[in-house]
Structure 1
């Protein structure tokens, strides 16, 4: 029979071997997955090594509450964001083996400068790829309308930046009217890039039916690492190749994402985007005002020139008129007489025509009145014939039981009937019933 040991003894051997063979700590690079903080303040996660989307190795990680508070505060102070799932970190770990819980890496420290440096390296690689593919300035080549009147907005509906943007657009002091439609999307986190890309696809499908002229992506400020989704290649390519101009307002002045670089127009904040759109209206109005002023001045100059020409013509005509006055007086008097005669003839003709029209109108109105009176008499006669009292006066009667016509009731011998004639109400009792139906 083979000799054996217990599981706990085997685990103790493993624990002892690890403690004697491994260094106290190691610095390792890995991606945080399933990162969560328990109620007691301990952080639990997995450190994962990947090649693309393929997981090559992983180890369970712990960050005990006392160390977690200090490391998390220092990391946030340096990077402007919290430790979270999807973040690549350089961590100092001590490998431990628990007989019950197995192998784990207890994190002793995390270097925030590595996360910032890794982010910068990946960002530059993405910029270089977009430049090589000719995408960095592609969306900027789109023609932006002189005045933006219909826009699609990609944002979180609960974001303060979105609320500020809509309020500034809708309540502008000049009363400009801008149609806008929200396409909700996640604006941070692992799903943000795919969510924004999907929103762009929905806009692309509806842009023609809605008459959309441009897309606005707004978020507001945030920590550097919270904006990582806007540095991803897939989202940048979607923006760069989109068929409408894309305007961004997704960070503060100190932040410039790759999405900003490939967009048609990059502005600092959502309110800056709103002001940019409103300024297009004001600039259009100013240009119209300038054109109007130029046109007005040109017309005034033309009028002055024409006035001078007219005055010259008037003086020449006046001189000519004086010379022709004596010989033309008789002709003018004759023309005046003919004109007066013609006018009197026309007036008499018009007067005769009006008199004839008046008579025809009176005749037509009288005929219409007579026909309407005859129709009204016929209607009154028809209504009188339908009056129940008229029917009773012709010798008919109406019989009821408790106010209900007997035709609508099952009848029984002994029931009391109320019979109404035009002058009397008669009470009677049913003695027999014969069915004639």
Structure 2
């Protein structure tokens, strides 16, 4: 029913509805075609119960809104447009993106002016997102931050992992499964910092968790951002400058497994390392342990072999020294015994010579006395008798003196013999003590060296290695060093510190990453 203007107090008055209808007619008559319009979709305003959207479109200049208009996107149009948009851009329609839309202009007296969106060109938005990515890369490189996280050093054994993921995601479950069931039996510590990983809230959520981890960074060796499933949809947040900058400046290495195989995001570029899937990240961490354990096993075998050789060499050397000691001791004893025997024989020969000399002189003196007594007998027997008496006394005195001299000489010879034997015995004892001390010193040094080697061998013994969380995997009683040594259906025996685990190989895969 058409309404007419009224006269009130001599004034021509129109109702609000009449004014709105007039505007509606004017717009419908003027804007009869559809138009391509570029704008930023400030809010999508999707209502799930009806399937309709009521976007808020704005245009900004210098950070200020210079134009604002409401829009309508009906359910069927939204479904068609969103599917096409997601397929091309890799992102669904969402808040805060720039779009190029095809729309008609409409005006409703009750709801006002609005654009009815009938199509959206996803290529325009894709170009804008790529431009954002390029701008982020250029800015990080200009600020010298692009390679900052890559310049860090990964710990030799990255065992403590801070995980940023969604607890219910398949990627998170796959990561834990690979990490905890590794054939090497390597033990890892991991703690989950739950976060949104796609959508407009993902950047804020991930940044919050990175700040939490930074406060306890001393408890972790590496940060892993894991996003499993979802394909290449919802990745634009990983081109955000603030998020990429936080990861580039993070004080410990950040590794990413965002779960896509196409265009690499800025976050992946600036991270310490990235992998296509969460599974590959787990394999990357396990490989670091494997790279360490293989040389350790080889070193253990080398140490055992060298220790055995040293023990054998030391045993041979000790045996040789003992033989030399026995030989030298026997030679010294024989030499000194021979010297003592020679000195004894020499003393006996000298004593015999002295006794014979004194005996000959006594016989000669007696003969002279007897001849003198016979010649003087005729002249004066008394004198002779007296002389004989004196001579007998003299002879007795001479005999006593000779006997005393002989006894004194024998005593001196006996004392000299004892001194010579004692000196030889002391020299022999001193030489024996020096030889024993040298042998003991060498034996102690050998014993210390052998003890050190035994200690190293005990430290690197399989039992102690197993006690630290390592394990040994056997196939047909032979150690397995890499995945190429096994095939599907093989029965593997894993020796732990306490117990043995038997398993059947379902799959084996060679890891090509460093």
Once structures 1 and 2 are overlaid, which stretch shifts more, 111-120 or 37-46? 37-46
| Equivalent residue in structure 1 for 2:286, among 251, 265, 278 | 278
In structure 2, what is the equivalent of residue 427 of structure 1?
Answer: none
Q: Is 1:11 paired with 2:20?
A: yes
Counterpart of 2:267 in structure 1 is 259
Give, in angstroms, the shift of residue 222 of structure 1: 3.1
Conservation of the 8 A alpha-carbon contact between 1:153 and 1:181: yes
Say which SS state the counterpart of residue 92 (structure 2) adopts: coil
Q: Would the aligned equivalents of 1:35 and 1:43 in 2 still touch at CA under 8 Å?
A: yes
Partner of 2:106: 96
Cα shift readout 1:358-394 (whole Å, capped 9, x = no counterpart): xxxxxxxxxxxxxxxxxxxxxxxxxxxxxxxxxxxxx
**1:273 Cα deviation from its structure 2 partner:** 1.2
The answer as to whether partners of 1:94 and 1:107 remain within 8 angstroms in 2 is yes
> Distance between the aligned counterparts of 1:38 and 1:95, measured in 2?
25
Deviation at 1:146, TM superposition (A): 0.6
Following the alignment from structure 2 to structure 1, what is the Cα–Cα distance between the partners of residues 337 and 108?
133
* Corresponding position: 1:295 with 2:329: no
Shift of 1:230: 1.2
Structure 2: how far apart are the matches of 1:146 and 1:52?
50
Q: Distance in 2 between matches of 1:235 and 1:68?
A: 30
Aligned Cα root-mean-square deviation (Å): 2.9
TM-score, normalised to structure 2, is 0.58
Q: Secondary structure at the match of 1:3?
A: strand
Displacement of 1:256? 1.8
- Aligned with 1:193 (options 177, 182, 203): 203
Report if the CA contact (8 A) 1:38-1:44 is conserved.
no
Alignment of 1:30 onto 2:39: yes
Check whether the contact 1:81–1:223 (CA below 8 A) recurs between aligned residues.
Answer: no
Note if contact 2:198-2:235 (Cα within 8 Å) is conserved in structure 1. Answer: yes
CA shift for structure 1 position 133: 0.5
Query: 1:135 maps to what in 2?
Result: 145
Distance 1:48 1:324 in 2: 113
Alpha-carbon distance in 2 for matches of 1:20, 1:38: 34
Partner residue, 1:109? 119
Match of 2:174 in 1: 164
What is the DSSP-based 3-state SS (H/G/I as helix, E as strand, rest coil) of the residue aligned with 2:209? helix
Gaps of 5+ in 2: 1-9, 339-424, 430-514
Number of aligned positions between the proteins: 330
Deviation of the 1:84 alpha carbon: 2.4
Q: Deviations over 1:10-59 (max 9, x none)?
A: 22221232233336122112233143045343332222223476433221
Structure of higher CA gyration radius: 2
**Counterparts of residues 176-325 of structure 1 (less than 5 Å):** 176-208=186-218, 211-224=219-232, 226-299=234-307, 302=310
Q: Is the 8 A contact 2:94 2:200 kept in 1?
A: no
Q: In the TM superposition, what is the alpha-carbon distance from 1:87 to its structure 2 partner?
A: 2.9
CA distance 1:167–1:21, shift in 2 (3 Å): same
- Helix, strand or coil: the match of 2:104? strand
TM-score norm. by structure 1 comes to 0.68
- Structure 1 residue runs of 5 or longer lacking an equivalent are 336-437
Q: Which residue of 2 aligns with 1:344?
A: none
